[in-house]
Chains A and B, each alone.
Chain A
Amino acid sequence: MSRFLSLLKTLLINSFGISAIRAKARKNKLEYLKVLGLGAAIAAGVSPTLWLYSKILIDGYDLLAPLEQQGAILLLGIVMVSTMIFFFGIFYVINLFYFARDAQNLLALPLSGWQVLGARFSVVIAYEYLTELPFLLPPLLIFGIKSGASLTYWLYALIGFLLIPLLPLSLATIPTVVIMRFANLGRRKDLFKILGGLMVIALAIGYQFLFQKSGINATDPAFLQNLLTDQYGLVNLISRVFPSTKYLGMALISADKVAGLINLLIFAALSLLAVALAWLVGDKLYFKGLVGSSETAARRKMLTSSDYKRLGKGSPALLSYCMKEIRLLFRVPSYFMNCVLTNLLVPVILIIPFLLQSHNETEAMPWEDLIAQPEGQTILMVVIVGAVIFLAGSNAITATSLSREGKEFFISKYIPLSYQQQLLAKLLSGYIFGTIGAVLLLIGAIVLMPLDITLIGMILAVSLVAIGPITEAGLLIDIFRPKLDWDNEQKAVKQNLNVVFSILFSILLGGAVLYIVVRFIHSPTLAATFMLCCFGLAAVIMYYLLMTRGIEQYRKLEG
């Protein structure tokens, strides 16, 4: 046990970069201030969203209180967080347990499967607490304060907060460990790892749809009546996504009754059971999925002249540099999962539910009336452009493009390709993926709804311009704070604040422009013109900054 704890401590310190901060702070006390300042900047960035979220919860509470269903806001938070932890958990587990370069290193130590898996599992739990905080704290506080809750409520809330990630993360861990055990066969290991990861995600999405769709019939009046009159109607409905969450919801709602305690105990038992199961599976299968997973296929076959011929005549340096970026994005599993896949998967995830629905219902889609009117078309345009912008911000291809080079950054410094060209090549790679995301989203929209060609053209034009400032800003962010000092690749794309900043920028810029459009502009043509101007201007400004301040800073960076 003590070995487990000491492993856990080391992993925690290492993955949160605590030693690095301490070492810097020893020389310069201001380093702590910098960390605090960064935290404050992020808090300021998300505070409008948090405020809106809290407002919705408060309104929801007041609305539901007369029905005695105000507990639903708790469930909403819990279910949302559980679902998120489940999905993020899959990515964390695949990345941290398998793709991380240092995952291999621990194999040489005399530790058993559950110890290593358990320690890594706990590190992920620590991350999940951070994810949980902004989503769960508001409903817990609002319900507690507004209902004048007793001490037991607050105690249960704390216990609940600590228990919540256990079950979803276990559910994410078990199939991943099993699938990765079998993905670690054959010779194309990188490829199998990616396919394995895809399979887990597909399973997870399938599971979600299964639960969401079972037994809900919104048009049945009896169901609706039951929903509103039964005290736990809403609670039952919401918790269907993650059935176990109902017990925690009930525990909090009836914290002062014996039933509350019983429900809490059930929830705790379920959570701990799931963890035990996950660690047991891990003990049996984790190392089997890891041993030799760094083996690379090698043919060691003499190249024939046709192999050499295929090299062709070479390409201009800028394109060659861009190709290198794209090759690595596809070949390094954690880059693929975090940068490429999100780009492809998000449009698909957004579209699937509607596609499924349209199959078994002949009724009109809810938006058919909407897009018949110009206002509706404008709104639609705003929604799609907003999604494109968010996608371009969150794929973080430019926002991690220096960070991804890590210790290899010195190569960019000594090759005879000007910094301007290098930055343009990086921009190009980000722009290409942004465009792919935009086109996929648009294809989805066309499949779902009858759009006329001018509207499609306008949306595409605005999207293609809007990607510009987002990719440029991402690159600027990464030039000014590249994370080059990492020991495994996923730290460059996953535990990198630049991704957060890139998303924040896309939310702020996109939010501001789209808000104005929704508020003041009704005609789609006018809206498109306005957006083209705004995003075009932003693109030019960002480009200018990149080519002046950006290059200057790039010159100062040392490998």
Chain B
Amino acid sequence: MIEIIGVSKSYNRGAVKAVDNVNLTIRDGEIFGFLGPNGAGKTTLIKMITGILNADEGTIKINGKDIRKNPIDAKMQFGFVPDDPNIFARLTGLEYLNFMADMYMVPPENRLDLIQTLLKRFEMGAAAGDLIQSYSHGMKQKIVVIGALLHNPPVWILDEPMTGLDPRSSFDLKEMMREHADAGKTVFFSTHVLDVAEKVCDRLAIINKGRVILFGSMQEIREHLRENQSLENLFLELTENE
């Protein structure tokens, strides 16, 4: 569960208000989609949840653990897939995974099995011994996803995870998100692809200019749609530049 209470954040000493008084609760067992145009504040909010940015106001709790007051415990609760997978280019995939496993204190007994199973599932077994530098964008994305799953986190946070994945891997990832949620865990991800949001999410929020402007289950959101109006039109209407 993720609780976001009255969170705001601005950049450049208040010049840009990137996230404006956001209140959200993401429940266990659901996939929560976070939808918004470029520059809406999705990445900023996710960075605050994960402790990369400090919120100006408000509190964020992950499974009841406050990210500011109890950072290490809170960080153990989630696995994070950042929007830019260009990390540790000079490590091999395997070294990276082992590093992450050390960080999250994955016990040595099942570490190898876990790594092997995940590598196989994402068809990364052959590349794992090579430097990440030599990977394609999608392969980097996959190794980061694997790294975020090693400690079997109760909460999964992904920032635009589908970007750069081929249809097969993208399908696999959606499957895994579903399994994860069905096992009673939480999945929180951002996207600007409406199709993905519509098909995968149990609930979603639409954010624009740092404010949540619509949020609820797919069912509830459909009720907002007028006759013959598509989600796309609704989205365009809601996020229109005034």
Asked whether A and B interact, the reply is yes
Q: Which of B51, B54, B90, B129 contacts A303 (CB 8 A)?
A: B129
Mark B67-91 against chain A: 1 for CB-CB distance below 8 A, else 0.
0000111011000101010111011
Mark B124-164 against chain A: 1 for CB-CB distance below 8 A, else 0.
01111111011000000000000000000000000000000
Interface on B for A, CB 8 Å cutoff?
12, 15, 47, 50-54, 71-73, 75-76, 80, 82, 84, 86-88, 90-91, 94-95, 98-106, 108, 111-112, 115-116, 119, 125-131, 133-134
Which chain A residue shows the least CB distance to B84? A407
Is A454 part of the binding interface, using a Cβ–Cβ cutoff of 8 Å?
A: no
Residues of B within 8 A of A418 (CB): 71-72
* Contact between A415 and B103, CB atoms less than 8 A apart: yes
Is A520 part of the binding interface, using a Cβ–Cβ cutoff of 8 Å?
A: no
Stretch of A157-165, A236-244, A315-323, A358-366 at the chain-chain interface = A315-323
A408 and B82 CA atoms in complex are apart in Å by 10
A348 and B51 CA atoms in complex are apart in Å by 45
Mark A306-349 against chain B: 1 for CB-CB distance below 8 A, else 0.
01110111111100110110011001100000000000000000
A491 and B94 CA atoms in complex are apart in Å by 28
Is A556 part of the binding interface, using a Cβ–Cβ cutoff of 8 Å?
A: yes
Is A301 part of the binding interface, using a Cβ–Cβ cutoff of 8 Å?
A: yes
Q: Which of A308, A328, A414 contacts B50 (CB 8 A)?
A: A414
* Contact between B95 and A414, CB atoms less than 8 A apart: no
* Contact between A301 and B126, CB atoms less than 8 A apart: yes
Which chain B residue shows the least CB distance to A318? B102
Which chain B residue shows the least CB distance to A421? B72
* Contact between B129 and A301, CB atoms less than 8 A apart: yes
Q: Which of B51, B52, B103, B108 contacts A313 (CB 8 A)?
A: B108
A302 and B75 CA atoms in complex are apart in Å by 33
Known contacts A314-B101, A320-B103, A416-B76, A296 near B94 by CB under 8 Å: no
**12 chain-A/chain-B pairs, Cβ below 8 angstroms:** A294-B133, A297-B130, A298-B130, A300-B127, A300-B130, A302-B126, A303-B119, A321-B99, A328-B91, A331-B90, A331-B91, A415-B104
Which chain B residue shows the least CB distance to A332? B90
Residues of A within 8 A of B125 (CB): 302-303
Q: Count how many pairs of residues, one from A and one from B, have CB atoms less than 8 Å apart in the complex.
A: 117
Q: Which of A300, A301, A317 contacts B102 (CB 8 A)?
A: A317
B42 CB to nearest A CB, Å = 15
* Contact between A298 and B127, CB atoms less than 8 A apart: yes
Candidate in B76, B82, B103 with the most chain A CB atoms within 10 angstroms: B103
A258 and B225 CA atoms in complex are apart in Å by 92
* Contact between A416 and B75, CB atoms less than 8 A apart: yes
B71 CB to nearest A CB, Å = 8
* Contact between B90 and A413, CB atoms less than 8 A apart: no
Known contacts A414-B50, A416-B104, A327 near B130 by CB under 8 Å: no
Mark A527-559 against chain B: 1 for CB-CB distance below 8 A, else 0.
000000000000000000000000000011011
* Contact between A416 and B102, CB atoms less than 8 A apart: no
* Contact between B99 and A320, CB atoms less than 8 A apart: yes
* Contact between B130 and A296, CB atoms less than 8 A apart: yes
B158 CB to nearest A CB, Å = 13
* Contact between A311 and B131, CB atoms less than 8 A apart: no
Known contacts A408-B87, A556-B54, A311 near B98 by CB under 8 Å: yes
Which chain B residue shows the least CB distance to A414? B50
Is A410 part of the binding interface, using a Cβ–Cβ cutoff of 8 Å?
A: yes
Candidate in B50, B91, B99, B100 with the most chain A CB atoms within 10 angstroms: B99
A407 and B47 CA atoms in complex are apart in Å by 14
* A: interface residue count bin: 35 or more
B78 CB to nearest A CB, Å = 8
Known contacts A27-B15, A296-B134, A559-B52, A410 near B90 by CB under 8 Å: no
Mark A499-512 against chain B: 1 for CB-CB distance below 8 A, else 0.
00000000000000
Known contacts A298-B131, A302-B126, A558-B54, A308 near B87 by CB under 8 Å: no
Known contacts A311-B98, A327-B95, A303 near B75 by CB under 8 Å: no
Is A18 part of the binding interface, using a Cβ–Cβ cutoff of 8 Å?
A: no
Known contacts A311-B112, A313-B108, A558 near B90 by CB under 8 Å: no
Residues of A within 8 A of B50 (CB): 413-414
The 5 closest A-B pairs by CB, nearest first: A320-B102, A416-B75, A313-B108, A298-B134, A296-B134
A18 and B131 CA atoms in complex are apart in Å by 34
Residues of A within 8 A of B127 (CB): 298, 300
Which chain B residue shows the least CB distance to A418? B72
Residues of B within 8 A of A300 (CB): 126-127, 130
Which chain A residue shows the least CB distance to B73? A416
Residues of B within 8 A of A299 (CB): 129-130
Known contacts A308-B115, A414-B52, A408 near B75 by CB under 8 Å: no
Which chain B residue shows the least CB distance to A296? B134
Which chain A residue shows the least CB distance to B88? A408
* Contact between B94 and A303, CB atoms less than 8 A apart: yes
A27 and B91 CA atoms in complex are apart in Å by 39
* Contact between B47 and A314, CB atoms less than 8 A apart: no
Identify 6 new A-B residue pairs, CB closer than 8 A, beyond the known A296-B134, A417-B103: A297-B134, A307-B129, A313-B108, A324-B88, A408-B88, A414-B50
A3 CB to nearest B CB, Å = 31
Residues of A within 8 A of B112 (CB): 308-309, 311
A296 CB to nearest B CB, Å = 4
A359 and B22 CA atoms in complex are apart in Å by 76
Is A145 part of the binding interface, using a Cβ–Cβ cutoff of 8 Å?
A: no
Mark A280-305 against chain B: 1 for CB-CB distance below 8 A, else 0.
00000000000000101111111100
A313 and B75 CA atoms in complex are apart in Å by 23
A398 CB to nearest B CB, Å = 19
Which chain B residue shows the least CB distance to A101? B89
Residues of B within 8 A of A407 (CB): 84, 86
* Contact between B98 and A314, CB atoms less than 8 A apart: yes
